[in-house]
Structure 1
Amino acid sequence: MVPVVLDWAVGNQRCNEAKKNLTSFACKANSHCYDFDNGPGYRCNCSQGYEGNPYSPNGCSDIDECVISSPSPCNITCQNLPGTYNCSCPEGYEGDGRTDGSGCSPIPNSNNIPPLIKIALGISIGVSVLLLGGSWLYCGFRQRNIINLREKFFQQNGGIMLQQQLSMREGSVQYAKIFTAEDLEKATNNYHESRILGQGGQGTVYKGVLADTTVVAIKKAKVAEQSQSQIEQFINEVIILSQVNHRNVVKLLGCCLETQVPLLVYEFITNGTLYDHIHTVGGTTSMSWENRLRIATETAAALSYLHSAASTPIIHRDVKSTNILLDDNYVAKVSDFGSSRLIPMDQTQLTTLVQGTLGYLDPEYFQTSQLTERSDVYSFGVVLVELLTSKKAISFDRPEAERNLAMYFISAMKEDCLFEIVDEQVINDAKADQLKEVASLTNRCLRVKGDERPTMKEVAMELEGLRMMEKNSWLNDKKNLEETQYLLGDQLSNAYGGGTSMSNSTAYDSIANNAMTPFHSGR
């Protein structure tokens, strides 16, 4: 029944001596040693912030002040640390964050953005940077692929060969320009459909405006595989055509070889095609006979030049009214050389795959595949019939016997029914003798055998002669003759027999043989 107090200590050593022998030292982790105050030995106690048995093998364990303390020792954010804890304030606030201290208070003049919003903003900015970086990398790879592809097409289409040819001709006044794909994409607004001028079997023609404001026509051919020989021929044609300098031939300005098929760049002609003017929607046209004859003469002169005056003879191969363009003054311009062929100087014909337009195609070429200069003569003959009759080369709206205009014309000539098929305005404008001469020339152009057709040079000379006779027809007019007598005297008048006109054959021979200079008004 007497109270008992147990007073004890570990060993007989003080703390300093006991710590030297770690194997026998009784104070374990997270504890501290203190000397026994009632004799020898020492005791152990858990360090501040820890609890448990300091003598157990694992020692004392940490106290989580953020959890066990109530209320929380921190105003907003409490972070447990080994043996202690930490209080913090969010961004935009200041203080020690403790409930028993200064706590947290807003920093003056700071933007107090809630943490969630800041996190969202950070994520958004990060994602945006990733997207922009990815897009930049994609565009870079894509642009590089485009550049590589253009270089590949440039080589496939004979770009190196063309550059070599052009470098050899640097001293020449006329030469082709090599355009980049980017130049022509900008010129056509990326080949927008509103820029389309026309479409055909060879491809599509676009209107383009170059960086120097030059208006051009850009022909984009249909995709087709090309052999090495075809590439060499194309390059040769570009070189030849770029040097063709004739007022009645559409000028080839250059080409682009950075696309799958080459693009050709021509001068832009403003007034449409001959087909548009003689085959109007209403079926009538206001084109005078004088303009028709002049257009025929200019077209024949251009084809004659290509056949005989160009450095290498060129067969157009697709002469038709849609390939004869007219400028603002109705001057004819032969265009579209997509089917053209160059004739070597030692050859007069080529064996080719038959190509042309129904209604204009030379029947001999169709049967034999032998392409000659006379094939263009036949096609031009069909254009002459169009100018005479204002009818289309082929029309399934007409009776069967009249569907093919060339055959219908030949039949009318045999039956002496020329004036029944000639356009009414042409009959009113032209003289009968002159119409018969043009019709006779047309008939010869349309002969089945090519050898029986005139050459293009002969056709051009004869048309020029007929046109000069038309221009100088005032000599046959009595009123003009009297005026001539008054101005020039009786001597000139008597030389022409006092009003007797020259015969057609005499006038033509004079022009053909002596290159007679055209007369102009005596005034």
Structure 2
Amino acid sequence: MESILHLLFLLQFLPLLSSSESYNPQVKYFINCGSASNVELESPRIFVGDKNSNPSFSVGKSNSVQNENPLPDISPLYHTARTYTKIFRYMLDINQTGSYLVRLHFFSFSFKKTHLIDALFNVFASNFSLLSNFSVRNSSTGFPVIKEFFLPIAKGNFDIYFIPADETRFAFVNAIEAFLLPSHFFIDDPTAIPPLRTTDGALRTLYRINVGGPQVNDTLWRNWVPDDDYLTFPSSVTTYSYDGELQESRQGRFVVKEIAPDAVYNTFKNMSIDNNGPSNIPNITWRFNVSKEARHLVRVHVCDLVSPSPGTVSFYLNISANIREVIDPNSYGFSEMRTPLFYDYMVSPDDSGYMSFSIAPNETSIKKVAFLNGLEIMEFLGSSTINMPVEHERRKHLALIIGSAGGVALILVLILVLSLCLRLKRLKPVKDLILKNEFLYGRGRSPSMTTERTENASIVTNLNLKLKMSLAKILAATENFNPNLLIGEGGFGKVYKGTLESGMKVAVKRSDSSHGQGLPEFQAEIMVLSRIQHRHLVSLVGYCDEGLEMILVYEFMEKGTLRDHLYDRKECLKNPSAETAFTWKQRLEICIGSAKGLHYLHTGPDGGIIHRDVKSTNILLDEHYVAKVADFGLSQSGMFDSDHISTSLKGSFGYLDPEYFRTLQLTNKSDVYSFGVILLEVLCARPPIVNSKQREEINLAEWGMFWQKEGQLEKIIDPVLVGHINRNSLRKFGEIAEKCLKPRGADRPNMLDVCWDLEYALQLQQTPAHREAHEDSTTTAASTDLALPLMQNLNYNMFPVDDYSDTTASAVFSQLRVNDSR
């Protein structure tokens, strides 16, 4: 059964609240956007004007606007707003990790010649896409639009990004709420099949229904609406209400008001039949529109107010065609009546576009009755790792610099340059689209943006790669995508471990459109991996594009990602005397292998390929710790005009080349910069971006280069490496990273140069201790280099960066093949 019933029965451990008590979260933000005034709706829900100085959150550059003609019955919370014509963020200081409820408030009004109803934008937070192409125009006019999300948020800075859909659009928000949920508001059940995990995911509220009752609010200020509009046959059901008190357990209430208020459990709709009733049992059915592609968490609320005694009632609950369960409250050991309960279900998507719920009496029950008190439907948000916004660093005091540097003449020149840039920018998207389509589909083939997915899939099929696999073969290899074989999840979708009929172990990557990537990335991956083959690039075993499925099958990499090994070093830290499994020599060899893979990629067929998403999670390790570069979904052909401008910025936080971000000019030197970040990750065993009160520590590239220039890089290395790195090897390694992270791409080495330098660093690491001491005391750095074999002294100035003769190329590749065979 795809979805499994999960009773959240440990609610007695939640805090006990009386009916008059309001929830007061330990961490809370209520922000009145674009205003200097506070608006109190109810204590402790006081919305603070964000124009006032507040150390706990910061507001980026934006415009505050005010409704010139506010309606008298609209809350002052919606009299102001913040608008943004460029990428903008709110940054909140979170001091406790946990599950948070985040609400965004939108209400359209007009100011001057601008109408907020014309806004079209996206919202990101915590690597999740909260809203995509959102507009209040699509919502009911005259009422505020409130979007509600449940997000896992770690301690540190929490950023909410608002991104206009294009240059002609803008974004806005009237108010923001973010507060910590009660402990155990969501509970995981790892024993369920498939495992029920909610605390690690993000959810968007779609529906919250008070069955049989009026519209009510709970202590989390959530709105529950009547169910009448969702019933398929409203006249066939009966509504009841209960005026008494609900039962309490000895430890306290099983369901506190943060889960659902008493007003929800005190009302219900039911259907009953007598003992001589029809054999064809009737049911009550509700129907809701949902996404065809997303998974949903469904929470069903019941409270037995109809049974004459415990154990006399059980009934059927059906959720679409996926779930059929018997609801029997007494089966969980509750000996008292009128005890509120709720059940969680994970519902898989289907192609219907709606979700139906029905209840029916159980013929075997003593009292044949079915009832429902409340219902919640929440949509899981896929993790978004592509196109995450990166803000421009503002040019401080620009006006002062311009004013002091020039007068009217300089201003006129700037205006002229700006107008030329804007003109070129309007022309470049067309050229960029043509180049992109030529790379993905072949010269002269540019499919329409509105072409159906099944038609586009034929482009892949027509390649005759002899790699196409049947869906049946993949289902057999993965045991019908058994959740127990799930080994990872990324921008494309979920990854399963599989075994082919031949016994070969494979990694099967199954597309999930809710994760943000789709057909273009699928095609790009196949196009790239069908043209290249190298020991340090992950091999494509096959693909499947049957129906709506987009599946890629790779060789299985036993040791997982490089990042997994860098950050999970707790055991080594507990026992420093133990031999470090992931040694400095191994790390250097992994860096060398990765560099060779990228070098081959950059110098391969058709002018080379730019990876565009080089990061430690895209470097995989086989059973012998041989490194292989993976994930070519964002890759792009290296054949560009010198002035080529990309219209879409792609990459990952912390790895993105600042020159590429600034100019949108993509070259293989952008991959070199990202690889420089990986070098520092390997050395320091920390992520490229961390939350830190010390500003200089947030960005690994900046932090590492600070200590490199100070000549004290050893201060930030992975503690498990202390005492295990040859000082000359560390010095050379720091120099390599510094070259890769040069601000200008032209100043960075190519990946061949990086290969040579890393080989040299490895040679230095293997230098005997007595020789190192002798070199330090009697020779200069230059003479030390000369003492090494000649091949190790080849530096990146000995070959042109992008152009070398066939003879030189042959020699280079011969040497690389020798090294690969080791």
So what's the TM-score if we normalise by structure 2? 0.38
Shift of 1:506: 6.0
Q: Deviations over 1:365-417 (max 9, x none)?
A: 22222221111111111110011112221221563321211111111123333
Q: Deviations over 1:54-97 (max 9, x none)?
A: xxxxxxxxxxxxxxxxxxxxxxxxxxxxxxxxxxxxxxxxxxxx
Structure-2 residue corresponding to 1:274: 562
Contact 1:313 / 1:345 at 8 angstroms: preserved in 2?
no
Structure-2 residue corresponding to 1:456: 751
Structure-1 residue corresponding to 2:145: none
CA distance in 2, matches of 1:431, 1:219: 40
Structure-1 residue corresponding to 2:488: 198
**Is residue 366 from structure 1 mapped to residue 664 from structure 2 by the alignment?**
no
Alignment of 1:79-118 (within 5 A): none
Amino acid at match of 1:158: A
Shift of 1:354: 1.4
CA distance in 2, matches of 1:192, 1:312: 41
454, 458, 477: which one aligns with 1:187? 477
Amino acid at match of 2:470: T
| Structure 2 CA distance for partners of 1:508 and 1:443, relative to 1, 3 Å | farther
| Structure 2 CA distance for partners of 1:320 and 1:348, relative to 1, 3 Å | farther
Alignment of 1:40-79 (within 5 A): none
Alignment of 1:171-320 (within 5 A): 175-223=465-513, 235=523, 237-260=525-548, 262-280=550-568, 282=570, 284=573, 286-320=581-615
| Structure 2 CA distance for partners of 1:454 and 1:192, relative to 1, 3 Å | same
Point out the structure with the larger strand share. Answer: 2
Shift of 1:347: 6.2
SS in 1 for 2:543: strand
Structure-2 residue corresponding to 1:441: 736
| Structure 2 CA distance for partners of 1:349 and 1:270, relative to 1, 3 Å | farther
339, 344, 350: which one aligns with 2:634? 339
Structure-1 residue corresponding to 2:715: 420
SS in 2 for 1:165: coil
Shift of 1:155: 4.2
SS in 2 for 1:409: helix
455, 459, 463: which one aligns with 1:156? 455
Contact 1:374 / 1:451 at 8 angstroms: preserved in 2?
yes
165, 171, 178: which one aligns with 2:463? 165
SS in 1 for 2:603: helix
| Structure 2 CA distance for partners of 1:336 and 1:231, relative to 1, 3 Å | closer
Shift of 1:348: 8.3
Structure-2 residue corresponding to 1:507: 788
SS in 2 for 1:381: helix
Q: Deviations over 1:292-333 (max 9, x none)?
A: 111111111110110013455111111111111111211111
SS in 2 for 1:457: helix
CA distance in 1, matches of 2:740, 2:731: 14
Point out the structure with the larger helix share. Answer: 1
Structure-2 residue corresponding to 1:52: none
Contact 1:237 / 1:342 at 8 angstroms: preserved in 2?
no
Q: Kindly tell me the number of residue pairs found equivalent between the two proteins.
A: 341
SS in 2 for 1:503: helix
Amino acid at match of 2:557: I
Contact 1:317 / 1:375 at 8 angstroms: preserved in 2?
yes
Q: Deviations over 1:88-147 (max 9, x none)?
A: xxxxxxxxxxxxxxxxxxxxxxxxxxxxxxxxxxxxxxxxxxxxxxxxxxxxxxxxxx9x
SS in 2 for 1:207: strand
Q: Deviations over 1:239-272 (max 9, x none)?
A: 4412422111110112111142521111111011
Shift of 1:471: 4.0
Identical aligned pairs, as a percentage? 34
Amino acid at match of 2:509: K
| Structure 2 CA distance for partners of 1:266 and 1:287, relative to 1, 3 Å | same
Alignment of 1:366-515 (within 5 A): 366-396=661-691, 399-471=694-766, 473=768, 476=771, 503-504=784-785, 507=788, 510-511=791-792, 512=794
Contact 2:675 / 2:740 at 8 angstroms: preserved in 1?
yes
| Structure 2 CA distance for partners of 1:408 and 1:418, relative to 1, 3 Å | same
CA distance in 2, matches of 1:348, 1:245: 30
CA distance in 2, matches of 1:279, 1:225: 24
Contact 2:524 / 2:634 at 8 angstroms: preserved in 1?
no
Contact 2:728 / 2:764 at 8 angstroms: preserved in 1?
no
CA distance in 1, matches of 2:625, 2:710: 34
Segment of structure 1 superposing worse, 299-308 or 215-224: 215-224
Contact 1:242 / 1:253 at 8 angstroms: preserved in 2?
no
| Structure 2 CA distance for partners of 1:421 and 1:474, relative to 1, 3 Å | closer
SS in 2 for 1:208: strand
CA distance in 2, matches of 1:359, 1:311: 29
| Structure 2 CA distance for partners of 1:349 and 1:216, relative to 1, 3 Å | farther
Amino acid at match of 1:185: L
CA distance in 2, matches of 1:403, 1:215: 39
Higher relative contact order (CA 8 A, sep 6+): 2
Contact 2:606 / 2:639 at 8 angstroms: preserved in 1?
no
CA distance in 2, matches of 1:291, 1:348: 40
SS in 1 for 2:732: helix
Contact 1:312 / 1:343 at 8 angstroms: preserved in 2?
yes
Q: Gaps (5+ residues) in structure 2? A: 1-350, 352-450, 574-579, 799-810
Amino acid at match of 1:380: F
Q: Deviations over 1:321-375 (max 9, x none)?
A: 1111111211111111122222237668561411222111111222222221111
CA distance in 1, matches of 2:569, 2:563: 11
SS in 1 for 2:468: strand
Contact 2:684 / 2:718 at 8 angstroms: preserved in 1?
yes
| Structure 2 CA distance for partners of 1:259 and 1:416, relative to 1, 3 Å | farther
Contact 1:254 / 1:265 at 8 angstroms: preserved in 2?
yes
CA distance in 2, matches of 1:241, 1:470: 34
Structure-1 residue corresponding to 2:32: none
| Structure 2 CA distance for partners of 1:397 and 1:226, relative to 1, 3 Å | closer
CA distance in 1, matches of 2:771, 2:515: 60
SS in 2 for 1:329: coil
So what's the TM-score if we normalise by structure 1? 0.58
Structure-2 residue corresponding to 1:170: none
CA distance in 2, matches of 1:300, 1:503: 25
Q: Gaps (5+ residues) in structure 1? A: 1-145, 147-151, 167-174, 480-496
| Structure 2 CA distance for partners of 1:410 and 1:191, relative to 1, 3 Å | same
Q: CA RMSD in A?
A: 3.7
Amino acid at match of 2:620: L
